[in-house]
Amino acid sequence: MTNIYDIAKKAGVSPATVSRVLNNKPGLKESTRQKVLQIAKELNYSPNYLARSLKKQRTDTIALIVSDITNPFFTTLARGVEDKASQNGFNVIFCNTDEDIKKEKAYLELMLQRRVDGILIASCSDGKTFSLFRKKNVPLVLVDRRVNKPNLDCVTGDNEEGAYQLTKHLIDTHNIKKIAILSGPLTLSTSRERIQGYQKALYESSIKIPENYTVIGTYKEDFGYQATMEFLKKKGPKIEGIFAGNNFIAIGVIKAARELGIRIPEDLALVTFDDFEFASSLFPFLTAAKQPAYTMGSLACEFLLQRIKGEKIKERREVVLKPEILIRRSCGCQR
C-alpha cells in the first residue's frame, strides 16, 4: 500500500510535509498543500491508523464488554454506545462474555494489548482484575452492573426502585401477598438490588414470606422455567405472584405456567424487569420495569470519552437511571 514516502517522493517534498498536509496543520504553502492532496488522491492513499496510533499513543477505539449482545437490553445499550462513540470519531470493539469470568478476563487483557483507549463493561466478575487498568492508566467505566472495589464512573439502572414498584404494585393494587422472586446470580449487583427492592416492598406491607420464596438462579429462560415448575407443583400454600429477575426468566415462567394450564394473570400474577420492545409493541402483556438502555449506553460512553480526553473531573460519577414501570396485563390489570 502506498505510504507517505511515496507521496513525498512524487510531490518533491519531505514526508514530514506530507504528514502536515494530511493532518491539516496550519502554516503550509497553499500550492504545496494542493499538490500533496492531489497526489494522495491519485495514489489512492489511505493513511495507516496503526502507525499513527503507535506514535500518538491512542487508538480512538474503545471496547464494550457485555454478557451477550443478543439480549435486547444489551443490544440497545450497544447501539447507544456505538452512536456516541462514532460521533466522536471512536470505533468500538464488541465482546461477549456469556457471564463467564474467564472469558471476561481474557477479553480485558486482549483489549489492553490492543491498546483501546478505554473500556465500557457490564462485568460478571467482582472487578478484581480491574486494577490492571488503573495501573496502566486506561479508563474504565461501569455500565448496568456495579462492582465494589474500584473507584470508577458508573451508569446503572435503579434496580431497587424498579423492583420495589413492581412488587408494591402486586401488593397494593392486586392484594397479592405470596410473591416469589426468581433472581439472577448474587454475584451481580442487579440481582442483589432487585431482591432488595422486592424485600423492601414486602417489609413495608408487613408481609412475611418464607425464605424459599427467594430463588437464586441465572438470567436465563431455563431457570425461570424450572423454578416455576417447582413452585407450581409444590404442595402447600399456593404461590400468587412471581417477580421475574429479568425478561428471559419471565419467558420461562410463562412457558411453565402454560404447560401446567396455569393462567397468567388469573391464577398467577407476573411482573418482570426488562421489556421486549417488539413483543410489547404487538402484545402488551408483560408488566415490566423497562430500563433506558440506549441512554445508559450513550451516557456511559460519554463519561468514558471524557476520561479518555483527560477532562479534569474531580471525583467519580455515579448515575442511576430510573426505569419506566409499564403496567400491562400479566400483573392482573386490564384483564
* 313 lines the binding site for DNA (CB under 7 A): no
Q: 6 by DSSP, 3-state: which?
A: helix
133 binds, among DNA, its own copies, none (CB under 5 to 8 A by kind): none
* 283 lines the binding site for DNA (CB under 7 A): no
Interface residue with DNA among 38, 51, 172, 324 (CB under 7 A) is 51
27 binds, among DNA, its own copies, none (CB under 5 to 8 A by kind): DNA
Reported residue count of the chain is 335
Dihedral over alpha carbons 248, 254, 260, 264 (to 10 degrees): 150
In the numeric block, which cell numbers belong to residue 16? 514530514
Q: CA 130, CA 107: separation in Å to the nearest integer?
A: 12
**From the CB of residue 312, how many other CB atoms can be counted at a distance below 10 Å?**
5
Sign of CA dihedral 37, 40, 45, 51: negative
Return the number of the residue (109 or 204) whose C-beta is nearest its own copies. 109
Interacting span for DNA (CB under 7 A) from 8-16, 74-82, 101-109, 261-269: 8-16
61 binds, among DNA, its own copies, none (CB under 5 to 8 A by kind): its own copies
313 binds, among its own copies, DNA, none (CB under 5 to 8 A by kind): none
* 1 lines the binding site for DNA (CB under 7 A): yes
CB of 232 to DNA, least distance (A): 58
Q: CA 308, CA 145: separation in Å to the nearest integer?
A: 21
Run of H or E residues at 228: helix 221-233
* 55 lines the binding site for DNA (CB under 7 A): yes
- Lookup result for grid cell 405472584: 241
Return the number of the residue (92 or 152) whose C-beta is nearest its own copies. 92
Spatial CA neighbour of 180 closest among 289, 112, 309, 271: 271
What residue type is 112 in one-letter code?
L
DSSP state of 90: -
Interface residue with DNA among 27, 236, 261, 310 (CB under 7 A) is 27
Spatial CA neighbour of 156 closest among 292, 64, 310: 292
Residues near its own copies (CB under 8 A) are 1, 44, 46-51, 53-54, 59, 61, 68-70, 72, 75-76, 78-79, 82-83, 86, 91-96, 109-110, 112-115, 132, 135-136, 247, 251, 254-255, 276, 278-279, 281-283, 285
CB of 52 to DNA, least distance (A): 4
On the CB side of 188, CA atoms within 13 Å amount to 28
283 binds, among its own copies, DNA, none (CB under 5 to 8 A by kind): its own copies
Dihedral over alpha carbons 62, 68, 71, 77 (to 10 degrees): -10
CB of 324 to its own copies, least distance (A): 18
Residue 219 · residue 248 · CB < 8 Å = yes
Interacting span for DNA (CB under 7 A) from 42-50, 65-73, 101-109, 158-166: 42-50
Return the number of the residue (92 or 140) whose C-beta is nearest its own copies. 92
Interface contacts to DNA, rule CB under 7 A: 1, 3-5, 12-17, 19-20, 22-23, 27-29, 31-33, 45, 47-48, 50-52, 54-57
